[in-house]
Structures are given as C-alpha cells and as structure tokens.
C-alpha cells in the first residue's frame, strides 16, 4: 500500500499522493485526462497568507523576504537584493538584527515545513538581513514632508520606537519622551548585551531617528518632569508605550522589605547599566520564563567576590544605592545559581534551547516546585528560600504536604511577572497597574490617547512592535477624521500583487467605457484568474502538495555557549550569524506557502498544455504562469501538483 503524503518517519520520502492518513483513493490520471471533470472548473491563482506570517505578532512578510533571499523575487532595477530584503523585512518590523537574535519565533512554530522535516530557520535569515543592512549602512527612506501633526510617544523601547517609525512613514512627526538615559527599553535594559549587541541595537535605533522629524528627550519622566495636561495641550495625539518596568515580588510572607530579595527586572537593569559587576555567592531565581533565564545566565557570568563589603553587596547596587567599580571583575569567583519553576522543564515558557543552554552553563534547574517562605537571619536578610513540590489544581499551584525543603541563598530574585510603573500617571492606569486599550489601541474614554506594548499586557517584543503598527494606522485615521473600521481577519503586512506589478512597470492598462465585453482573459486592464484572499485565509499543510519537497536538514547558526567551567566572565555574543550562501540555502527551504515559487509542476503536468509560462517581459512574482481556458478541460491536475496551494479549481460554472 502506498504511503500518503503526510509525514511518517523523519528521513522517509513522501509519495505524490495528496491525501490525509487513511485515505488512499485516487482516480487514475489517465481517466482525468480523457474524461474531463464535470464541474467545469478551471484554475484560479489564489494568494493566501502563510502560517509563519499568521503566527508572527508583528505580521512580517516572512515569505516575501525569504523569496528575495533565495532569488525567486527580484529586486527593482538598480537595487541589490540584500537591500531589497532589508526594505521588505522592515515594512513591519524595524529591528531585524534584534528580532533575529532574541525573538522566540512563534513563526517557526507555525511553519508548514514542520510537516515535512523541520521548520525554516526564519530567525537566522532575519538576523542575516539585519546584520547585512548594518554592515552596508542601509538607511530608511526619509519622507519629504510631514502632515503638520505631532505625536508624543511616552517610552523609547521597542513599542515606542516602532510607533515613531510607522508614524513617520505616514508623514507624522513625533517626540519620544524616555525616562532612561538611553533609548531601547527592554532591548537595552532588560536583555543582556551578549544577546543584543549594543552597537547593532544603537544603529537600528538611530536609523529610525535619522528619518527626520523625530525628536528625542531622555531622562524625562511623565508625571514628574512633564504632566499629562501639558502633553494634551502640546500634542495632537499621545502614545503610551512605557512598558512594564516593575517586577512582581514572590507571594511569600516578608518579601517586601527584605533587602536581598529583588526583582528580575531590577537585577537586569543594574547589570545592563554596568553598575552590577558581581553578584552573590548563592543566587536563587524563581521563574521559568525568558527573564529568569537571563537572570541566571548573567549571575553565572558575574560570579561573586569573597568577603565583599556589605555596602557593596549585590542588592545595594540593584536598589541603586551604590555602583560597583570595574576592578571587581578581576576578583570574580564562580557563583552557585539555582532556577526554580512551577512547571517541568518541558513546559517552562522560556525557549527550549535557552533552558538547555542554562543547564550547560551550570545552572541548577529545579522544576515542579514552588516557594512557600523565607528563612531570615537576625539582621532581617534572607539566608534561604523555603520550597515545596507542587501540583497544579484548577490552574493554581498547591504545595505537596511533607515535601518542604530549603535552598540556601545570599540573593533571591523574583522573575514571575512584570507590571507598569504608574507613579505620577495614576489616572491612566487600571486595577492591574496597566493601561486599557480597545481593538484599535485607543485608550477608552480618553480622546487623543493611544497605547501599545507591554503596558497593555506583558508579552513578546514582536507583539509590542505589531501593536505599534496597528496603532499607527489608528492615529492616522484619527488625524483624518476617518471612522476606524474592523481590522482584517488576518491582520498582517500583506504582500500585494498590484504593488509588485507597479514596481515591475507592469501596471494594468486603464479601463475605458469601450471595454464592455464580458471576461478579462485577454484584457489588459485587469489581472484575470487571480484572487487575493490573504486578509481572510491562512494556507495550511493539507492544502499543499507536500510530496514535492525533499527532506533537508536545517542550516543552523553557530551558537557560542560556554560550559560551566568557561562561563565566568564570558560576555561574548552567543549567536554567530549565517554567511550569505548559507542564508540563501536556508531560505530555499521555504515552501512559499500560498504563493507561486516557479517550480513548473503545473506547466509540466498539464495534459492539454493549457497552463503556460507568462512571457518574461510580462512576468513577475505571482504572475509566473497563466491558463489558456480554451484548452483547459478542468482535470484538476495542476491544482493537485501545486506544492504551495496557490491553485484552486474555482473558475467557471459550479
């Protein structure tokens, strides 16, 4: 019995059969050729959104820039393909180098290639695009004029910077008001530099500012240095992109006020500012997410100093009372670092490879446990964290009786969640210390006020960037007094065939009243047999001919992860980007779900030669093949052998 197309065992090939498991019926192709289908349906070329893009909170045109890197979609005349890939990738997200390094890549989880062998390394190719743009000095286009409107953007992190970028593209000026000394938000103060190199981060931020009419005011806090009323008087709109800068403490008695009990946010902020040069001998971090992984990885790198002056202890630096001298680094010794999690390692919210790296670096990860109390000395400092095994009941952890134990600790870090710092702007907050938003990212009941990013609900960097893009559309509509209509079902930055035709000098001819004949198969004023469903539909693996794709291992980036013996003082970048040729090979693994990638299957297998290649002078991405309906007999073979799900039998009578 033949194996259907659905994957069986890794390394085994697929057959041509386009059936789900258990369905083996297939009429012979001979019957279909000589006894045509009775539906009278002929092929229509249907654009749909690929699941990688549908899974991307920023809505990046991932398929598009992978097509450019692999050489399928060509750059406009006079532009190098690396610049074209950069411009297409940054339509949605202006931080390709940063996202390529630190985004947990929900796009890769959604990739249809997972049904064949393994996902496409989207992050790796995005990092290549961003790093190439950095090396080549690519800049964003600078619009000639502004609308005369000016927006106050409170917060210069990923959400605020993305908002400034998207608003500037629409012609609106902005002023970024940032409480910290430098822009970058969590990308600078919440993620270690060995994960987001500061030189590259600074370049991607400056590239946005260089678009012009974007003013920056750092060391300025709204609610202290400027009031909400002043902003409302001076600006046409206000964007709240302040992020979540406060960490939640552990829900155990005595946490508040214990000096060596700190938040993960404060710990990483002190490290990234350079004030924290060493940590403590025994560090315990409670978490399980990405922030907790960063905390324990940094703690292992910093180590500790024996007999350090009490005034220079880690908590004194984290609380902002003192700063370590750089000379402390020369005296570092290893630190014992423990990470605890309510959930098993396989269910921790941190990326799987990050958990693996932490273990390799010498972090002790204790899972399935919960904190239940503190052990303190006579001075009120914590000397240990009381723990117990736990079970989840009704979604809440419950300690297992008799399983209690203590982890000795000199510094305890809570990385169980973050909240907004609403001091001075309490009028904007809700009961959760966050800011409410409607579907258009307006603040309900507060005209002129908009919001995006973690201050709505803490999530991913890419989520904040995607919200900023939608919000910029809302502000643009607000300025134009337009009614804000519901967003598309698939709300992403869609690839547009008409834009591609225009870019290629292939715009349809103008329509005139003389063109009154029914049908457009030979007309030049319309794009016939094409339908765009990308804002409504995502193409799934079962819609594709997976038998076309061979098994091919992923071309992976090199990661420099120090062992437990090497980790002390190891601050070199962990991810080594792909070389050009390797990035192109990895991009070639993309299956171009929902869009033609010029495989020629439909041309080769059409028994009536009804499907043909478009003349090169008239062809472009999405218009590589066409159909002669005077020859088509509706046999469906072209649709059956289309790997990408781009061909539907939909043209003609029902």
Q: What is the per-residue pLDDT across 333-375, written as a single tens digit (0 to 9) for each?
A: 999 999 999 999 999 999 888 999 999 999 999 999 999 999 9
pLDDT at 8 over 90: no
Question: What's the average model confidence in pLDDT over 430-451?
Answer: 96
What's the mean pLDDT when you consider all of the chain?
92
DSSP-assigned beta bridge partners for residue 375: 384
Least Cα distance to 288 among 337, 342, 363, 250 occurs for: 342
Q: Do domains 150-245+420-479 and 248-417 have the same CATH topology?
A: yes
Q: What is the rounded distance in angstroms from the CA atom of residue 108 to the CA atom of residue 316?
A: 41
Half-sphere exposure of 465 (CA within 13 A, CB side): 28
Measured between its terminal Cα atoms, the distance across the chain in Å is 34
pLDDT at 20 over 60: no
| Alpha-carbon distances of 528 from 371, 504, 508, 525, 626, rounded to whole Å | 64, 18, 10, 9, 9
Query: 529: alpha, beta or left, given left = phi > 0 and alpha = psi -120 to 50?
Result: left
568 φ, ψ to 5°?
A: -60, 120
Q: What is the rounded distance in angstroms from the CA atom of residue 560 to the CA atom of residue 228?
A: 46
| DSSP structure class, residue 123 | H
DSSP-assigned beta bridge partners for residue 175: 152, 215
- Tens of pLDDT, residue by residue over 604-630, are 999 999 999 999 999 999 999 999 988
Token look-up 């269910």 returns 347
Question: What's the average model confidence in pLDDT over 37-56?
Answer: 87
| DSSP structure class, residue 506 | -
| DSSP structure class, residue 139 | -
b/e map of 71-104 (b: 16 or more CB within 10 Å)?
ebbbbeeeeeebbbbbbbbbbbbbbbbbbbbbbb
pLDDT (0 to 100) of residue 7: 43
Chain centre to alpha carbon of residue 8: 30
Cβ contacts of 463 within 8 Å, gap of 6 or more: 57, 58
Least Cα distance to 336 among 255, 276, 265, 407 occurs for: 407
pLDDT (0 to 100) of residue 650: 83
The β-bridge relationship of strands 405-408 and 382-393 is antiparallel
b/e map of 559-571 (b: 16 or more CB within 10 Å)?
eebbeeeebbebe
pLDDT at 19 over 70: no
Q: What is the rounded distance in angstroms from the CA atom of residue 345 to the CA atom of residue 293?
A: 12
Cβ burial of 355 (10 Å; 0-12, 13-18, 19+) is buried
> Vertex 379, ends 378 and 385: CA angle to 5°?
80
Q: Are 441 and 451 in contact (CB under 8 A)?
A: yes
pTM over 0.85: yes
Q: What is the rounded distance in angstroms from the CA atom of residue 321 to the CA atom of residue 326?
A: 16
- Tens of pLDDT, residue by residue over 393-413, are 988 999 999 999 999 999 999
Q: What is the rounded distance in angstroms from the CA atom of residue 432 to the CA atom of residue 448?
A: 22
Q: What is the rounded distance in angstroms from the CA atom of residue 547 to the CA atom of residue 7?
A: 9
* Domain 248-417 CATH (choose: 3.40.50.2300, 3.40.50.300, 3.50.50.60, 3.40.50.1820): 3.50.50.60
pLDDT at 3 over 50: no
pLDDT at 32 over 80: no
Q: What is the rounded distance in angstroms from the CA atom of residue 192 to the CA atom of residue 467?
A: 24
pLDDT (0 to 100) of residue 503: 92
Least Cα distance to 413 among 483, 513, 319 occurs for: 319
Residue 381 structure tokens: 């400092």
pLDDT (0 to 100) of residue 10: 47
- Tens of pLDDT, residue by residue over 504-536, are 999 998 877 665 566 666 778 888 889 999 999
pLDDT (0 to 100) of residue 41: 82
pLDDT (0 to 100) of residue 4: 38
Q: What is the rounded distance in angstroms from the CA atom of residue 640 to the CA atom of residue 514?
A: 38
DSSP-assigned beta bridge partners for residue 412: 261, 284
Q: What is the rounded distance in angstroms from the CA atom of residue 348 to the CA atom of residue 367?
A: 9
Q: Are 140 and 211 in contact (CB under 8 A)?
A: yes
Q: Are 444 and 240 in contact (CB under 8 A)?
A: no
- Percent of the chain past pLDDT 70, that is, above it, reads 92
pLDDT (0 to 100) of residue 653: 60
pLDDT band at 13 (very low <50, low <70, confident <90, very high): low
* Domain residue ranges of the chain, discontinuous segments joined by +: 29-136+494-652, 150-245+420-479, 248-417
* Higher-confidence position of 423 and 145: 423
Q: Are 591 and 17 in contact (CB under 8 A)?
A: no
Q: What is the rounded distance in angstroms from the CA atom of residue 90 to the CA atom of residue 83?
A: 11
CATH code of the region 150-245+420-479 = 3.50.50.60
pLDDT at 124 over 90: yes
Q: What is the rounded distance in angstroms from the CA atom of residue 259 to the CA atom of residue 267?
A: 13
Torsion sign over Cα 617, 618, 623, 624: negative
Least Cα distance to 195 among 125, 294, 283, 280 occurs for: 294
DSSP-assigned beta bridge partners for residue 160: none
Q: What is the rounded distance in angstroms from the CA atom of residue 462 to the CA atom of residue 472?
A: 15
| Alpha-carbon distances of 167 from 68, 411, 469, 485, 494, rounded to whole Å | 26, 43, 8, 19, 18
Least Cα distance to 184 among 166, 164, 170, 213 occurs for: 164
Q: Are 238 and 449 in contact (CB under 8 A)?
A: yes
Q: What is the rounded distance in angstroms from the CA atom of residue 210 to the CA atom of residue 274?
A: 27
pLDDT (0 to 100) of residue 6: 41
Quick one: three-class SS letters along 462-489? HHHHHHHHHHHHHHHHHHCCCCCCCCCC
Q: What is the rounded distance in angstroms from the CA atom of residue 455 to the CA atom of residue 240?
A: 8
- Tens of pLDDT, residue by residue over 83-113, are 999 999 999 999 999 999 999 999 999 999 9
| DSSP structure class, residue 34 | H
| Alpha-carbon distances of 6 from 1, 9, 450, 636, rounded to whole Å | 14, 10, 46, 20
pLDDT (0 to 100) of residue 35: 52
Least Cα distance to 243 among 297, 189, 202 occurs for: 189
273 φ, ψ to 5°?
A: -80, -10
- Tens of pLDDT, residue by residue over 132-174, are 999 999 999 998 878 999 999 999 999 999 999 999 999 999 9
- Tens of pLDDT, residue by residue over 575-614, are 999 999 999 999 999 999 999 999 999 999 999 999 999 9
């Amino acid at each position: 019995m033949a194996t259907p197309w659905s994957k069986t065992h890794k390394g085994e090939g697929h057959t041509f059969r386009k059936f789900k498991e258990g369905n083996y019926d297939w009429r012979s192709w001979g019957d279909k050729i000589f006894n045509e289908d009775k539906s009278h349906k002929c092929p229509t070329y249907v654009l749909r959104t690929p699941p990688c893009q549908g899974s991307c909170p920023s809505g990046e045109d991932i398929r598009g820039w992978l097509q450019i890197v692999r050489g399928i979609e060509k750059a406009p005349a006079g532009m190098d393909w690396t610049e074209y890939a950069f411009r297409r990738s940054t339509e949605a997200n202006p931080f390709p180098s940063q996202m390529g390094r630190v985004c947990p890549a929900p796009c890769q989880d959604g990739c249809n290639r997972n049904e064949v062998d393994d996902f496409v390394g989207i992050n790796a190719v995005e990092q290549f695009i961003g790093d190439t743009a950095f090396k080549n000095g690519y800049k964003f286009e600078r619009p000639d004029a502004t609308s005369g409107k000016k927006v106050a953007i409170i917060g210069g992190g990923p959400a605020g910077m993305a908002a400034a970028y998207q608003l500037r593209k629409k012609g609106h000026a902005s002023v970024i008001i940032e409480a910290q000394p430098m822009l970058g938000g969590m990308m600078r103060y919440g993620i270690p530099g060995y994960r987001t190199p500061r030189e590259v981060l600074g370049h991607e931020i400056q590239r946005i500012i260089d678009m012009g009419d974007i003013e920056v005011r750092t060391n300025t806090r709204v609610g202290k240095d400027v009031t909400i009323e002043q902003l409302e008087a001076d600006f046409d709109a206000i964007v709240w992109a302040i992020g979540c800068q406060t960490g939640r403490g552990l829900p155990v008695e005595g946490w508040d006020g214990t000096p060596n009990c700190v938040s993960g946010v404060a710990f990483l902020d002190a490290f990234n500012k350079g004030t924290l040069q060493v940590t403590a001998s025994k560090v315990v971090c409670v978490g399980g997410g990405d922030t907790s992984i960063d905390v324990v990885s940094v703690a292992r790198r910093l180590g500790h100093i024996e007999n350090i002056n009490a005034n220079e202890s880690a908590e004194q630096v984290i609380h902002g009372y003192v700063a370590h001298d750089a000379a402390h680094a020369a005296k570092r010794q290893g630190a014992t670092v423990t990470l605890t999690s309510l959930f098993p390692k396989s269910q921790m919210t941190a990326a799987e490879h990050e958990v693996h790296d932490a273990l390799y670096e010498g972090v002790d990860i204790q899972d399935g446990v919960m904190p239940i109390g503190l052990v303190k000395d006579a001075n009120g400092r914590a000397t240990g964290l009381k723990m117990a095994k736990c079970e989840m009941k009704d979604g809440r952890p419950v300690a297992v009786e008799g399983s209690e134990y203590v982890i000795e600790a000199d510094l305890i870090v809570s990385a169980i969640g973050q909240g907004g710092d609403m001091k001075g702007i309490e009028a904007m907050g809700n009961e959760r210390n966050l800011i409410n938003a409607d579907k258009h990212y307006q603040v309900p009941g507060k005209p002129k006020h908009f919001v995006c990013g973690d201050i709505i609900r803490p999530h991913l960097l890419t989520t904040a960037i995607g919200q900023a893009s939608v919000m910029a559309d809302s502000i643009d509509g607000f300025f134009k007094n337009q009614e804000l209509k519901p967003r598309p079902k698939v709300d992403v930055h869609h690839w547009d065939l008409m834009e591609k035709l225009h870019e290629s000098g292939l715009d349809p001819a103008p329509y005139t009243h003389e063109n009154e004949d029914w049908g457009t198969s030979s007309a030049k004023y319309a794009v016939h047999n094409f339908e765009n469903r990308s804002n409504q539909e995502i193409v799934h693996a079962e819609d594709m001919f997976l038998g076309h794709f061979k098994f091919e291992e992923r071309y992976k980036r090199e990661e420099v992860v120090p062992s437990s013996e090497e980790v002390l003082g190891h601050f070199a970048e962990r991810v080594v980007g792909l070389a050009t040729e390797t990035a192109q090979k990895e991009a070639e693994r993309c299956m171009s779900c929902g869009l033609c990638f010029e495989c020629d299957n439909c041309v080769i297998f059409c028994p009536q030669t009804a499907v043909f290649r478009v003349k090169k002078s008239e062809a472009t991405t999405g218009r590589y093949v066409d159909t002669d309906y005077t020859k088509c007999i509706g046999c469906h073979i072209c649709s059956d052998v289309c790997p990408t799900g781009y061909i539907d039998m939909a043209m003609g009578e029902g």
